[in-house]
Structure 1
Amino acid sequence: MKFLEFTTLDSINLFLNDLNLGESTIKGSLEAYSCKPTSVDRRISDNLEHEILDYLSQSADSDPSSPVEYLSRRSSRRTLIYLVLTLGHMYPDYDFRAVQAHLFFTEEEWDSFRQIFDTYLFEAAKEWFQLNGGSLLECLEKAIDEVIKLEECEVYSYNPDFDGDPSIENGAIWSFHFFFYNKKLKRVLSFRCCCLSNLAIDGLPDEKMLEDEGVDDGLFIDMDM
């Protein structure tokens, strides 16, 4: 895997790098990688492939929600390995296991991405319009299409446990992570974004934040972040 530089992504990355919205800050980035493996990638790929095959040989799980059926297909294993390798390059200190990682990847459509965008980035879109004019979503779609060709892509969201997400920082309110994979181009584009509380960033203890906002701790029990 090799990081690829595209000037078409620069303006969006610069805008989302550290977008202060007053009470919160959004941090997002678009990163493109070639699927052409390095010697290290080949070794990791072989290890991941053996891990998956060992899992399949030992598994008699007929549960439809298990990864057995998906991982039995070679093309699916190859896609998963590319996604795991991409994560590994983005978070080199984090240990990703292929079988486990599969449980956190969900195949999506562009409409799913639009819904996430409308839900979480509407304030960012307002800021973009004031600074640049036009639509942030349309600019994102154009940039992503130039790099990865959306019509030819498979789209995946990555949704690990909140505590086990390597992209989560202190004070995180929400985060999302999408991958766009083009088999023909042998290329993966990652779009990750998170929102951080500025109170937490400034070092205000969580208990003080809740007290000042008049929020009962019990309201956060069992909340799905």
Structure 2
Amino acid sequence: MIITDTHTHLYSDSFDGERREVIQDAINNNVKRFFIPAIDSETTQSMYDLENEFPDHIFLMMGLHPTHVKENFEEELKHVEAELDKRKFYAVGEIGIDLYWDKSTLGIQQQAFRKQIQFAKDRNLPIVIHCREAFEEIFEVLEEEKDDKLFGVFHCFTGTHEQALKALSYNMKLGIGGVVTFKNGGIDKFISEIPLEEIVLETDSPYLAPKPYRGKRNNPVYILKVAEKLAELYNLPLEKVAEVTTKNSKEVFGI
């Protein structure tokens, strides 16, 4: 059995001092692949360091996170483009729109989102979307951009059944993490109506730890709790959930 964590910030300083142990613990428990989203230029070297230490397990993305779209976003996008031109990445991400922290940057967030979608299309790469309090704004951009080259993952999906179907209509898989285990998360009420072939697993560690670890640092090994919850909701063996979602991740990320 192999489980894939399609979204983990393993370079986070939350893991300082025990990063190797955290990764090895996950590997020992069949979590074999870790997809690492970029935040901004300051995270680039840390991502490369991770890849150097665990080359068989770490798969990197490149992008500018919407909460880091500031006055210097055009300079940051030049960095993203330069890195994409230098070497192989598995996705452009995480990118999108976040209106939870700062609504005043919506205009430049939209610009950065569109530009990075174009980076992905030009390189036949998937996008990994960050959406917080911005479903309509995200869908507006995706509606403009939809074509055969648009595909990817709707990371940390927390929307409604209707929003899930709309996300799928843009050729996105749904990234399902710890929220599916929350009593008030909501997605557990309908997720089994979504074909498992449209889902990938993720932790977003160190954030959003699943029950019974909610409120603590999330570790990649906790993805097992997410997989177990989906096995319960879909009434399938854990091994089947692991097999299908890992297959889905390989198709999206091209490995």
TM-score (norm 1): 0.25
Q: Which has the larger radius of gyration?
A: 1
The structure where strand makes up a greater share of residues is 1
Q: Relative contact order (alpha carbons < 8 A, sep ≥ 6): 1 or 2 greater? A: 1
